[in-house]
């Protein structure tokens, strides 16, 4: 994520915990039997960005956002490398090449 200045530097990512008020499928608030609000943890540059990301993920009103000090930001998982297809000896597998199936002219 590029910071607000045109320097091209990326802002430091911090971890935030956002508490939200759950809603039903119509958007009405749902009371929590335990009295504790559920939370979601997001990585963001500041509180506003964290609340915005959390809202986009859960689509429920964000009640409070707190910064988690000392919690490392998880790194995105790496995509596995795609290996190049290896040449297969069709005769060894007992198969014929597709060109042998075409009609002869």
- Banded pLDDT at 15 (limits 50, 70, 90): very high
Write the pLDDT tens digit of every residue in 49-78: 999 999 999 888 899 999 998 877 777 777
Q: What is the per-residue pLDDT across 33-43, written as a single tens digit (0 to 9) for each? A: 888 899 999 99
| 81 part of a folded domain | no
pLDDT of residue 50: 94
- Type and span of the H or E element at 42: strand 39-44
User: Do the domain assignments include residue 34?
Assistant: yes
The C-alpha atoms of residue 12 and residue 34 are separated, in whole angstroms, by 35
Number of domains, the chain: 1
Domain for residue 101, yes or no?
A: no
pTM given for the model = 0.58
Alpha-carbon distance of 97 to 79, in angstroms, equals 33
On the CB side of 17, CA atoms within 13 Å amount to 10
Residue ranges making up the domain that contains 53 = 11-69
Q: How many CA atoms lie within 13 A of 46 on its CB side?
A: 6
């Amino acid at each position: 994520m590029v910071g607000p200045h045109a320097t091209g530097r990326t802002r430091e990512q911090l971890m935030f915990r956002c508490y939200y008020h759950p809603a039903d499928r119509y958007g009405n608030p749902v009371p929590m039997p335990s009295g504790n609000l559920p939370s979601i943890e997001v990585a963001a540059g500041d509180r506003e960005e964290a609340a915005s990301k959390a809202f986009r993920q859960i689509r429920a009103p964000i009640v409070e956002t707190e910064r988690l000090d000392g919690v490392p930001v998880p790194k995105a998982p790496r995509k596995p490398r795609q290996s190049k297809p290896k040449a297969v000896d069709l005769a060894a597998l007992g198969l014929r090449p597709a060109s042998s199936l075409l009609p002869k002219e």
